[in-house]
Structure 1
């Protein structure tokens, strides 16, 4: 059982990260969401609550969800999980991630528009920040079509994650077309690093599109 103190601590961490990403313009208004995996069996996540300005979250602005991203009983504060909590839960279950970040960074939306089946990247020094070689290795940031049904969206994510293209290295991120991107890691710091690095790689790829 997860006590209120532990949930409050998770909320403080998530609020700090949300403020960071809001300051970058990647979580404008109420957009975007974050999660921390608190338990594995059964799966329990702390997820930012829906409808709140991500630049103004406090430690209490998180909820505890189950393996489907649904609010666990007993919380009488009136908060509800982000509508995308179900995908956070699927990411945690499939990848073993300790944290996940969803941002509406413009570079991800643009890249998903230009390369709807995946964004191929190679020979970039920044690839080392997501666990790959700077040279001689191709990676693809996968792109999935958006859906308001989190089970359907989770199935699309799981398909591209478990079946990467032949010869293409796996990455800790996925683009949701016309929406944004998700990135994850072993903990919140790793998820943050992966988010920032993947966004940088996508931004460079979009900016140099005409010359590639």
Structure 2
């Protein structure tokens, strides 16, 4: 039986606070930067997103806001604005079927996007298995899109580089936004975290060795 919405929001808030604390410890969510989300409902799409303007190392289970498929706030009684990037979270969740979408400002992801604006090619790395690819004989490209303050523009750019999963070419569950940060997503919180951490490691390796 599905929990009442209020209980699911609190549960999502606790999960996102724990993830934000983890990523802040890595230096990926310094100060108020970055945002994380969990899908609460699919039809219509509803996400819980970390509230804007808060130190991500100090979030509690109450520090989330609800958004719709357009990234707009759903609770008129909640004065806190959703993150400026909420619309892209909603678009990625709708487009990929993800249950969680994480956005952080990992330094090496920003460097990689600056160095390789056409996408970051990675090949013959064991860690590729963690994002659904072979460790050998396959070139995987982490997509890069230009930064824009309009999430409708960013959503269109995401659609241009996103490759839907097929038997031959599984999607890459991560994206770099140039001069900004990176997104990763997955079926649930654990998958999104795994994809984020593995992709960041691969990008860090690329930056350090090329």
TM-score bin (small chain) = over 0.9
Corresponding residue number in structure 1 for 2:148: 147
In the alignment, structure 1 residue 161 sits paired with structure 2 residue 154: no
SS of structure 1 residue aligned to 2:75: coil
The whole-number CA distance in structure 2 between the counterparts of 1:130 and 1:206 is 19
Q: Is the 8 A contact 1:140 1:169 kept in 2?
A: no
Which one of the candidate residues 6, 9, 16 is aligned to 1:7? 9
Gaps of 5+ in 2: none
> Considering only aligned residues, what root-mean-square deviation do their CA atoms show, in Å?
1.6
**Cα shift at 1:159:** 1.3
Which one of the candidate residues 27, 30, 49 is aligned to 1:47? 49
**Cα shift at 1:168:** 6.6
TM-score normalised to the size of structure 2?
0.94
Q: Is the 8 A contact 1:117 1:143 kept in 2?
A: yes
**Cα shift at 1:6:** 1.3
Which one of the candidate residues 51, 56, 59 is aligned to 1:57? 59
Corresponding residue number in structure 2 for 1:127: 128
Gaps of 5+ in 1: none
Q: Is the 8 A contact 2:124 2:138 kept in 1?
A: yes
The whole-number CA distance in structure 1 between the counterparts of 2:114 and 2:198 is 19
Q: Is the 8 A contact 1:139 1:169 kept in 2?
A: no
Structure 1 residues 29 and 195, CA gap change in structure 2 (3 angstroms): same
Q: Deviations over 1:22-64 (max 9, x none)?
A: 0100000000000001111100000000000000000000011
TM-score normalised to the size of structure 1?
0.93
The whole-number CA distance in structure 2 between the counterparts of 1:108 and 1:70 is 28
Structure 1 residues 174 and 4, CA gap change in structure 2 (3 angstroms): same
Structure 1 residues 163 and 191, CA gap change in structure 2 (3 angstroms): closer
SS of structure 1 residue aligned to 2:127: helix
Aligned length: 206
**Cα shift at 1:79:** 1.3
**Cα shift at 1:171:** 0.6
**Cα shift at 1:163:** 7.5
SS of structure 2 residue aligned to 1:171: coil
The whole-number CA distance in structure 1 between the counterparts of 2:41 and 2:95 is 14
Structure 1 residues 149 and 131, CA gap change in structure 2 (3 angstroms): same
SS of structure 1 residue aligned to 2:162: helix
Which consecutive aligned stretches of 4+ in structure 1 deviate over 4 angstroms post-superposition?
Answer: none
**Cα shift at 1:77:** 3.5
